[in-house]
Amino acid sequence: MNRIEALNILGLDDDATAKDIKTAYKECVQIFHPDRFATNKKLQERATEQFKRLQDAYEFLQSDRGGRASRAGASDSSARASRSVSYVEAQLAGLAAARTQLVAQRDAVCDERRNAAVMIAAGVIGAIVGRRIIWVAGIAGTFVIWGIVSLISACQNIATIDEHLKEIAMQKRQLEEDWEEDR
């Protein structure tokens, strides 16, 4: 890995400062942290791979091999103004990818919620029909309880995913506003 590759992984240009590198790393880590995709193994594996690439790139840039990008006397405003279109596009693409993954995850959890509701209904019907046969009623009751627990869990997961989607929308708006200010 060289400096250019490491900067590209973080969505930065050659003239990125140490502060730009740190900020981009923190933003990317928030987007691709594997814990955000805990309910979907496939997405979690992809996020883990991307997360490792981000860590490797950041460690390389922080080491002596990566050479710290420091510009003497660069103020915050000039550092922000130096953000190029490719940096903003990379950030927006990362946010769009994270949003796509979260929407797919939410769809899967909605399916789980629907299945839980069906399980509750089947359990109730089974309990009513088999109320005279103890073991049938017991199994049906287990289905009802299992369905309720699954339904509650799915609703909590959907709420969490919706919060993450709102955060991504806020980050996107903030990034676009900052980009407009820098123009």
Dist. CA 91–CA 87, nearest whole Å: 6
Contact 21, 61 (CB under 8 A): yes
Burial class (CB in 10 A: 0-12, 13-18, 19+), 166: exposed
Token pair of 166 as six digits = 């709102």
User: What's the confidence (pLDDT) of residue 87?
Assistant: 67
Please, are residues 179 and 83 in contact by the beta-carbon 8 Å criterion?
A: yes
Question: In the structure encoding, which two tokens stand for residue 41, read together?
Answer: 């193994």
What pLDDT, on the 0 to 100 scale, is given for residue 85?
54
- Among residues 169, 183, 175, which one has the least CA distance to residue 23? 175
Instruction: Report the amino acid identity of residue 31.
Output: I
* Token pair in block for residue 40: 């979907």
Phi (first) and psi of residue 123, to 5 degrees: -65, -40
Residue by residue, pLDDT tens for the chain (183 residues) are 678 888 888 888 778 888 888 888 888 877 777 777 777 777 778 878 887 888 888 888 887 555 544 333 334 444 444 445 566 777 777 888 888 888 889 999 999 999 999 999 999 999 998 888 989 989 999 999 999 999 999 999 999 999 999 998 998 888 888 777 766
pTM, full prediction: 0.52
88 by DSSP, 3-state: which?
helix
Residues in the chain: 183
DSSP string, 132-164: TSHHHHHHHHHHHHHHHHHHHHHHHHHHHHHHH
Residue 145: its pLDDT value, please? Answer: 95
Looking at residue 66, its pLDDT comes to 56
What are the structure tokens assigned to 64, written together? 């002596």
Cα–Cα distances in angstroms (integers) from residue 43 to residues 18, 46, 149, in the given order = 30, 5, 24
